[in-house]
């Protein structure tokens, strides 16, 4: 059996040839949208020309349910943008070592912005906040409040002052 995204895939067979293909390097949260658009409960996971296996909707739902827990330790960040928070944004965060364990997005009609809250499995959200800002998102807040690079420099300068006394 092949595992992708932490989900065990079902073997591909002749019947799976007609399924919509889903690239292995695309974020699994996008698989729900692809399944919905295709009106299918399964996708053929591919790596280039290689058929890795079949992802069933029930397995994807169990995976999503397993990570959608605000009881896990971590931090929350809320932000807004004229673009939705999608799999590409999640992959960008995860490429920098931040694991997105939950997210929710809603479109706010008054200001025509997507409002999003994400949950990450790290204690200090400062570096992830910088990444989101670099990706074009306007960060409204985060918790818990952590230290930033600027705070570290201030603390170091303060420490050096006392060492030199």
With CA atoms as reference, report the closest residue to 125 among 59, 163, 86, 73: 73
Determine the average pLDDT of the residues in 11-17: 88
Q: What percent of the chain has pLDDT over 70?
A: 81
Burial 100-138 (b: 16+ CB within 10 A, else e): bbbbeeeeeeeeebbbbbbbbebeebbebbebbeeeebe
Q: pTM score > 0.85 for this model? A: no
pLDDT tens profile 20-72: 999 998 887 788 889 989 999 999 999 999 999 999 998 888 777 665 555 55
Residue spans of the domains in the chain: they are 3-66, 69-144
Name the architecture of domain 3-66: Roll (3.10)
Domains 3-66 and 69-144 share a fold: no
For residue 110, what are the CA distances in angstroms to 78, 104, 115, 134, 137? 18, 18, 11, 25, 18
CATH superfamily of 69-144: ACT domain (3.30.70.260)
What local confidence, expressed as pLDDT, does residue 1 receive?
Answer: 66
pLDDT over 60 (residue 4): yes
Q: Is 81 helix (H, G, I), strand (E, B) or coil?
A: strand
């Amino acid at each position: 059996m092949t595992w992708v995204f932490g989900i065990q895939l079902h073997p591909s067979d002749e019947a799976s040839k007609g399924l919509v293909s889903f690239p292995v390097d695309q974020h699994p949260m996008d698989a729900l949208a692809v399944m919905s658009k295709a009106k299918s409960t399964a996708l053929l996971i591919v790596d280039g020309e290689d058929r890795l296996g079949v992802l069933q909707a029930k397995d994807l739902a169990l995976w999503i349910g397993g990570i959608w827990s605000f009881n896990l330790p971590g931090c929350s960040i809320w932000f807004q943008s004229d673009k939705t928070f999608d799999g590409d944004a999640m992959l960008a965060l995860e490429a920098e070592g931040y694991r997105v364990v939950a997210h929710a997005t809603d479109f706010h009609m008054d200001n025509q912005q997507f409002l999003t809250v994400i949950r990450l499995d790290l204690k200090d959200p400062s570096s992830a906040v910088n990444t989101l800002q670099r990706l074009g998102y306007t960060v409204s807040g985060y918790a818990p409040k952590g230290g930033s690079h600027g705070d570290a420099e201030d603390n170091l300068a303060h420490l050096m002052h006392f060492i030199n006394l």
